[in-house]
Amino acid sequence: MGGDLLVSTATLLGFLLTLARVAGVFVFVPMPGASGLINPARAILALGLTIALYPLWPHIAGYPSAGTMVMWLIVEAALGIGIGLAVAFVTEAFLVGAQAMSLQAGYAFASTFDPNTQADSGVVVVLMQIVASLLFFTTGLDREVIRIFARSMETYPAGSFVLSRDAAAQLLAMGSTIFSTGLRLALPIIAVMVMIDISLALLGRVNAQLHLTIVAFPVKMLMFLTLLGWLALLLPVLFRAQSGAMLTAAKGLIAR
């Protein structure tokens, strides 16, 4: 004897609201991979996480109007995007620092294939993007994002989120740390590059017969590689510090 699979309207609405929040999160969460595969991967991951959170799906009583449902979907997507932006701020800080370093070290003209955008990008920027993506999973930040999302389902059931002024200010402050963290990351290397330029300029003034311009770029690029190997030891520490600020901002966004 066959049976029919019946899905109530309340269950369907709860699934749509939860999926809107999850999809909002994974729009900005950094995931390594090519752009041709990253969108389907995010869609499958968002759908799977939504199904896994079935016990936390909201129970919608009655039949809300289309306008009310649209407003709920917008609110849920906004909460997810806020959490995703907080996560994206961590990796963007590393990219800002990489861009500043490559400009001073002479690697601004060196480009390579970016596996995420499938376009030419600076070699140092691509390298730092890969490192940030690896640290994202190595430090367990992916698990923390899922925990924050599950906590948000408890504190703010679907359709009940209201963005407070303090949470918005904290999220904006987190965005401003992109430039300060990137400068902290790049400042030691920039300082050494400037010292090399000054030293070569002084040597050129002492003896005008020395053509140091042709050796400036090789010296700076070699010194940059040496300093980058030293800086690699500090990247996990800086990433954890930036992740701690991100987690505080994300938890403040969902706190009542």
Q: What is the CA radius of gyration of the chain?
A: 24
CA atoms of 9 and 86, how far apart (whole Å): 33
CA atoms of 38 and 42, how far apart (whole Å): 6
Q: What is the pLDDT of residue 242?
A: 83
pLDDT tens-digit series, residues 16-47: 888 888 887 777 665 554 444 556 777 787 88
Can you list the positions of beta strands (E) in the chain? 111-114, 119-122
The answer to whether residue 139 sits within a structural domain is yes
Q: How confident is the model at residue 157 (pLDDT cuts 50, 70, 90)?
A: confident
CA atoms of 228 and 221, how far apart (whole Å): 10
> Facing residues of 2 across strands?
none
The one-character DSSP state at 1 is -
The answer to whether residue 148 sits within a structural domain is yes
Statement: residue 128 has pLDDT above 80: yes
The answer to whether residue 3 sits within a structural domain is no
The answer to whether residue 4 sits within a structural domain is no
The answer to whether residue 2 sits within a structural domain is no
Kindly report the average pLDDT of the chain as a whole number. 76
Q: Which of 236, 232, 203, 251 is nearest to 101 (CA)?
A: 232
Cα distances from 50 to residues 47, 72, 94, 148, 153, in angstroms, run 5, 16, 30, 14, 11
Of the candidate ranges 145-154, 188-197, 236-245, the one whose mean pLDDT is the lowest: 145-154
The answer to whether residue 169 sits within a structural domain is yes
Statement: residue 170 has pLDDT above 80: no
CA atoms of 229 and 91, how far apart (whole Å): 19
- Range of the structural domain that residue 67 is part of: 9-254
Q: What is the pLDDT of residue 71?
A: 82
The most confident of 41-45, 50-54, 167-171, by mean pLDDT = 50-54
Number of domains making up the chain: 1
Q: What is the pLDDT of residue 111?
A: 57
List for the chain the helix, strand, coil content (%; round to 5). Answer: 75, 5, 20
Q: What is the pLDDT of residue 30?
A: 59
pLDDT tens-digit series, residues 63-100: 777 777 788 788 888 788 878 788 888 888 888 888 88
Residue 208: what residue type?
A: A
Contact 126, 227 (CB under 8 A): no
The one-character DSSP state at 23 is H
The answer to whether residue 82 sits within a structural domain is yes
The answer to whether residue 195 sits within a structural domain is yes
Contact 246, 86 (CB under 8 A): yes
